[in-house]
Structure 1
Amino acid sequence: MVLIGIYIALASLCCILAMVADLLHGLRSRKLWFPCKFFTINAASLTVIAVAMKLPVDLSASMPGVVDQVSKLGSVAFMCTMMANLLPCLATMDNNAMLANIIALGVMVITLVVNVCIQIQTGVVACTYCKVPLMKEDEYHIPKMVASGKYPDTLDVICGVPYSIIAAIYVTMLLLLLIIHVSSSLAILKSKEIIESKYQEGHVRASRFLQQSTGELLTVDTLRQHVKNYWIMAGSGSPQFLITCPPTTTASGVICALTALLHTLTIRWLDFSTYRCGSAYKGTTQLILDVQYIGVLVGSVAPLSRCFASLSFYKEGVVAVCKIIALNSFFFTMCVLYILQCLKCLSKSTCCSSGKEDDNLDESSYVLQLEEENELAKRTPKGLSKSLDQLIQNSEKKHPENLMKLINTKSTEGFQGLKMFDKNNDHVQCSPTSKVIYRDCWSLAVVTLATIAVTLPEIKKVEVASLLKSVREGLDYVTLVEKNLNATPDCVSSQKAAEWLWQEVDASSSHIWLGIKLKDIASQVTTSDCIEDPMMQIVDLFLKEAKIKISKSRVGSKDGDSEFTSICAISMARITETIIKDSENKSFDESISSRIADIMAACLTNLPQVIAMKCHTSAIENREACVKGAAEILGETSELIKSLQDPSRRVSGINPDNMPFIDKWHACMSEP
């Protein structure tokens, strides 16, 4: 039983840490309504909560000491606090998950309430053996008392209030919180419909703003404004933010505060030195009491903050009363406000651009509300804009330094490295038996070229390490472009092959290509004067190995060659054949780095389109995360986007709709 007591305390501590994590997350993100990110209702959290509630659901264990009784009551108070903290997380669930979790929570709460009521009726809660030596516990064992109906004459009370009354108060609060949860879940369904309708209106307005630049590149400033519009919509239309506004949130905060106050007074009124722990849990009941009391205090912060956040919507009435009281200063106040308004208009006229009307200048139009509230619409964009600016600034510190260095130093004007492919061979069938058509993709071309570069004997290890770092950083963004813009089945197969191949080339210490160690290929190079250049020997060796892999796959070999192997081998054969035909490469190691840089640079010209796409999602529960991801990518790649949009890098004649596809670049650049 002592071990079980420790187990209960640890489960309670886990719940407390999750609530503290939500508090810190809310403070860090400046969301003082404290959204639930870590402490949410799910199978894992309900299991932990059930363990923490072991004492109040225990019907038979003897709890004769004051510490034992207060620990049992404290667990119920702790449950009230946790329920008040869990309320906003209901808004993060879809309808099916919300129904399942509400039912599970309801079963747990009703079970807890029924068990406590049984203990109140049987006297298990109220029967504390005041100042009776615990060595005579057997004479007053609770089951015997329940059977005989005879209880001690002296029951311990708190300022005249029996334990049973306090337990009844906690039970009532638990039932009220359960009703609040059920009511809130029903209100959330309607609120989401209203917000969804208003979000779609804002989405159309934001899309119209983006379409103003049709035919032009999306600049960083345009993207920043676009992200801000969606950031305001996602932040103000967050389901968790909306649930803090109704009176139910205020009621849960008040209940949580009353619970914390009552539990604090319960502990303060008792003289624990007079009594000892008399249950089989022994001293662990004191540990449980201390841990859960801390949880009650800490867990009261978020519900109270949400309560005050809801009350802030009624501040206009308070302001009106204050104006009536302070009537004598009315004219002075009006003069000051008029001067401030003039200064504000003057600053706007000097900072804003001339004459062009734009829906996005009025950022308050993107604030999503259940009910129109002008003051809230004015205040919300300011706070959200600050948080967005901070997020972008932090992301700018994570810019891909190695990738930018490679592109700035190796990339050619107009991305000439893309001419290396034969435009007539962009679609190849992997094998006669395969129904998958291989279509070239950015990542596979980069990984294939990087494989050759790593194997070249004349490149120094330091340069190889630097190149791998650049490719590693670049592939993160290249795959991001492909997953968002090249999601066709024929492209996806080659993208997965590239990911599989890169894990062998990069992650492996010995660098492997299709089961062959790159150092084994490099060892076959001879350095005699009468033999061709060592670098071209590497290319020839890769071409031979690629043809072997392709031939095995075409005859249906079962030596372990997979579809990915065939795709990677075809890519290697095409690239090496092109390199061999290119007789103008006098410095091949420089040429291959330039080709890698050109391919990644051309691919990453699509980043603005990806950022714009990631701002929007149909799932209301995921909008904040999507816009946050877009903002982080914008911060990381702002300098890179500016560099790629330099006029000297632009390729004329390519249709913007064709820019996400490497084969369309091949075709455009190969035209005379």
Structure 2
Amino acid sequence: MGRIGCEVDGVLDDSKFSQPIPWVGLYIVAASLACLIGMATDTILGICNRKFWFPCKYFSLNATSLTLIGVAVKLSVDLNTSMPRHHEQLAKLSSSALICTIMANSMPSLGAMETKDMFMNLMALAILVITVIVNICMQLGTGVIYIFWREHILLMFLMLIILLLMVSSALTVPTTKQYLEYKYSKKYEMAVKKCMAQTEGTVTQRGKHKLTIFWMMAHTCSPQFVVGRSPTCIASGAFCLLSAMILAEAMLLSYLTPFSFRFCKGESDYKWSTILILVTQNAAVGVGTIAPALRWFIAIKFCCPKVRKQSSHKEQFRVEPYWIESLLEMKHCPLNLRIPNRHRRKLAHDAKFLSLSFCIRVQMAIVLISKVTRIISIFLVSSVLACWDHCKILKPRFKNCGSNISSGTESQSGSKQDLRDFVLHLEGEEELVEVMLRENHDATNHWIKVGEKRKPKHLVQLLEKSSVSQGFKGVGAFDCDKVPSLHPEEPSNIWSLPLVTLTAIAVALPNITKDSVKHLLDTVHEGLAYADLVENTLDKEGDLMKVRQAAQIVWLGIDLYHKWFGLDFSKMSEKSPEETLQKLADTAKANYEKYKMKNINVCLKAKPSAWPVKVLAANSMYRISNTILLNWKSKYELGGEALFEELTLVIADILGSCLVNLLHVLSVKCLTTAIEEREESVRHAGYIFGKTKKIMEILDKRELPNLAQTGAMKIDDWRSMHRQNSIDFPFSPCSPENNTETTSSESRTETTSSESSDLCQIIMDPS
């Protein structure tokens, strides 16, 4: 009996080698389908969001997409598998067209990458494209590809052109990012000063105008948008459309006029899978061509009237400095290589100088080719666009609505003029300012309206009951200095930890209905999302990270299990609120000592805010429970339901004082994020603004203390203010028992008021 793979006489048996190849074809189909889904998703999102430059979110140039491309184009690099029939030859051609489509689709994603990653991914793509071109040339020579050779040559040429366009675009990305980042910071300062000078309108109206300015700046300097509107990216759309037309021409000719071709007889080793490959890849090319073609067409539609009006096209063929700036820097920088011989160093430097001079000329040529392509495209479709414009003018509804449109335009001209100064553009893009202004003027309104539909209803209801008119007096009631400390130093307070601790106490109280508990938990759940946003933004150095983690862990136990570190509220046997509070205080103290002894070295060396999370949570529960107990009998006793209501009001006041900082936080988000993420950050800020618009209106309609107007960053600032005033809460023993300090309190209040006027810029100027 012969060995596996060999016959009895020892001769190699290769009859089974081709049996798994149809399953390899299915693998190609799966990779092509993944590319199709990714490109289709980006196209649909671009159309739905009216981003007709089609940013790459789900299908960008990265390791995953490069792997998928390598699998999807396997037929193009298969050198020795025969493809005799017409649909198999077409499958070879569709693989080549698919590469052109994928490259044109993924070009905007170059702007979203770090410089190193971008050039590494481009190098991998270049190796793949060159490999495909070399292998197709071999197949043309050996006869594996024996028909559609003209189409293959054209597609190889288009592959190379689109690759060069991608490299050309990549060379400008670092330069344009630096320039636009600098320009954004300057425009941001100007926007802050302008918003500070604006005193008319409500807080929400001013905040909306502010976010509109930030959106215009963030969107127009988005790296993907900058690449997407560049001449090279627009030209790639034209070449991508041309590659799809070449594939369509071959498909139509082969099926409609089969008599004009002579195909071979026989069957490929891929068998039935080649039909699936052809169908999938044709669909991928068709869907993938939509985004690049629309980029090209919209640019042509906009540029067409301007080109008609210009008598000279010199400006159209000018190469702006940012296209070659990075190459010029490399050209004039010295070599880092240490070559011993002076003559050899001179030769190496001259070689570098000449090679980069050549690259600069090539770069300029590519930019000129892109601009020539745009001009040619304009003249090709100008007559079609002219007919379209005349047809629109002849429509009666446009005649009837002409006056309304003009009046609406006049009403918006002032606001658009205000935003013109905040459209960030590169040299040579002056003509795009009007388009970017017109297309993105109402984007902020859209996201605000989306947010308004999802406003936190429970939180709004709670804040309407809060003591806003009394300066959020509950903020100073939850913790009293008369409570004996467990440690000489106390950790800094944040909004979320006392918030969840008070919620835990409220849930633990006896004789409270399930509906009341559920409503409170839903409200705190909504409020914590914004408290976390405020704390994460304002705690720039991360000093309070442990305190925030403690709050998150406490809330997880309360929300999901109605427990506080293993203490099950549903199994507590206490009959009165006083007993419940005492048990919570005793449990917190015992846990504090236990956790502290386990982490004694950490607690001794670290500052209080860096204690372990369980120590911080236990300390908070101990102080708040004892604050309520301290004055329990000295004033009057409350039943469980009454105390629950009082705790709810304190929770409302803490949330209200925290949310005073929302506008400031949203402003910070518009500046501090990286340029690649800034557009998404500003969009999210607009969405959050819409969700919290009702909350801001509630706060704006009521008289707030001076501290609120300055945008207090810490809850301890509010507590310091309330120590000077009487706090009329049943469980607050910290209020003065007499008025002997009224005069000093008033003087301190006046001092605080005068100081607050000097700090009024803090909301508008987070930097």
TM-score (norm 2): 0.73
Contact kept, 8 Å, 1:32 with 1:305, in 2: the verdict is: yes
1:579 to 625, 628, 634: 628
2:472 to 415, 419, 443: 415
Q: How far off its partner does 1:309 sit?
A: 3.0
Query: C-alpha separation between the residues in 1 aligned to 2:420 and 2:61?
Result: 33
**1:635 is the counterpart of 2:655:** no
The one-character-per-residue Cα deviations of 1:245-301 (angstroms, maximum 9, x if unpaired) are 333223212211111111111111114998877112111100100111111111111
Alignment partner, residue 299 of structure 2: 310
- Secondary structure of 2:441's partner? helix
Alignment partner, residue 177 of structure 2: 192
Alignment partner, residue 610 of structure 1: 665
Q: How far off its partner does 1:555 sit?
A: 2.9
Contact kept, 8 Å, 1:605 with 1:645, in 2: the verdict is: no
Alignment partner, residue 284 of structure 1: 273
The one-letter code matched in structure 2 to 1:537 is E
Alignment partner, residue 741 of structure 2: none
Contact kept, 8 Å, 1:404 with 1:640, in 2: the verdict is: yes
The one-character-per-residue Cα deviations of 1:317-358 (angstroms, maximum 9, x if unpaired) are 225699xx9xxxxxxxxxx9xx98997699559x97xxxxxx
Alignment partner, residue 106 of structure 1: 126
**1:570 is the counterpart of 2:570:** no
**1:516 is the counterpart of 2:567:** yes
Alignment partner, residue 480 of structure 1: 533
Structure 1 residues 551 and 397: alpha-carbon distance in aligned structure 2, compared to 1, 3 A threshold: same
Query: C-alpha separation between the residues in 1 aligned to 2:417 and 2:658?
Result: 32
The one-letter code matched in structure 1 to 2:628 is I
The one-letter code matched in structure 2 to 1:92 is A
Contact kept, 8 Å, 2:458 with 2:519, in 1: the verdict is: yes
Alignment partner, residue 553 of structure 1: 595
More moved, 379-388 vs 438-447: 379-388
Q: How far off its partner does 1:2 sit?
A: 1.9
Alignment partner, residue 656 of structure 1: 710
Contact kept, 8 Å, 2:486 with 2:619, in 1: the verdict is: no
The one-letter code matched in structure 2 to 1:401 is K
Alignment partner, residue 43 of structure 1: 63
Alignment partner, residue 10 of structure 1: 30
Structure 1 residues 664 and 213: alpha-carbon distance in aligned structure 2, compared to 1, 3 A threshold: farther
Q: How far off its partner does 1:382 sit?
A: 2.9
1:457 to 490, 504, 510: 510
The one-letter code matched in structure 2 to 1:620 is I
- Secondary structure of 1:645's partner? helix
1:300 to 267, 289, 303: 289
- Secondary structure of 2:544's partner? helix
Structure 1 residues 645 and 72: alpha-carbon distance in aligned structure 2, compared to 1, 3 A threshold: same
Write the mapping of 1:12-411 to structure 2, written as runs, cut at 5 A. 12-126=32-146, 162-212=147-197, 219-271=203-255, 278-311=267-300, 312-319=302-309, 348=411, 362-371=418-427, 376-411=432-467
The one-letter code matched in structure 1 to 2:477 is M
Contact kept, 8 Å, 1:427 with 1:439, in 2: the verdict is: no
Alignment partner, residue 601 of structure 1: 656
Query: C-alpha separation between the residues in 2 aligned to 1:246 and 1:549?
Result: 62
- Secondary structure of 2:123's partner? helix
Q: CA RMSD in A?
A: 3.3
Alignment partner, residue 331 of structure 1: none
Query: C-alpha separation between the residues in 2 aligned to 1:187 and 1:179?
Result: 13
The one-letter code matched in structure 2 to 1:228 is T
The one-letter code matched in structure 2 to 1:279 is S
**1:492 is the counterpart of 2:548:** no
Contact kept, 8 Å, 1:415 with 1:601, in 2: the verdict is: yes
- Secondary structure of 2:59's partner? coil
Structure 1 residues 424 and 489: alpha-carbon distance in aligned structure 2, compared to 1, 3 A threshold: farther
Alignment partner, residue 344 of structure 2: none
Query: C-alpha separation between the residues in 1 aligned to 2:484 and 2:705?
Result: 24
Alignment partner, residue 149 of structure 1: none
Query: C-alpha separation between the residues in 2 aligned to 1:363 and 1:62?
Result: 62
Q: How far off its partner does 1:25 sit?
A: 0.9
Q: How far off its partner does 1:621 sit?
A: 1.1
Percent sequence identity is: 33
Alignment partner, residue 156 of structure 1: none
Contact kept, 8 Å, 2:660 with 2:708, in 1: the verdict is: no
Structure 1 residues 493 and 638: alpha-carbon distance in aligned structure 2, compared to 1, 3 A threshold: same
Structure 1 residues 427 and 304: alpha-carbon distance in aligned structure 2, compared to 1, 3 A threshold: farther
Query: C-alpha separation between the residues in 2 aligned to 1:244 and 1:555?
Result: 60
Structure 1 residues 652 and 171: alpha-carbon distance in aligned structure 2, compared to 1, 3 A threshold: closer
Structure 1 residues 389 and 426: alpha-carbon distance in aligned structure 2, compared to 1, 3 A threshold: farther
Query: C-alpha separation between the residues in 1 aligned to 2:700 and 2:616?
Result: 32
Query: C-alpha separation between the residues in 1 aligned to 2:409 and 2:81?
Result: 74
- Secondary structure of 2:654's partner? helix
Q: Which runs of 5+ in 2 are unaligned?
A: 1-20, 312-381, 387-398, 604-610, 726-767
Query: C-alpha separation between the residues in 2 aligned to 1:177 and 1:114?
Result: 17
- Secondary structure of 1:620's partner? coil
Query: C-alpha separation between the residues in 2 aligned to 1:53 and 1:431?
Result: 70
Contact kept, 8 Å, 1:244 with 1:307, in 2: the verdict is: no
The one-letter code matched in structure 2 to 1:33 is W
Contact kept, 8 Å, 2:84 with 2:264, in 1: the verdict is: no
Query: C-alpha separation between the residues in 1 aligned to 2:675 and 2:41?
Result: 24
Higher relative contact order (CA 8 A, sep 6+): 1
Q: How far off its partner does 1:369 sit?
A: 1.3
2:645 to 590, 610, 628: 590
Contact kept, 8 Å, 1:426 with 1:663, in 2: the verdict is: no
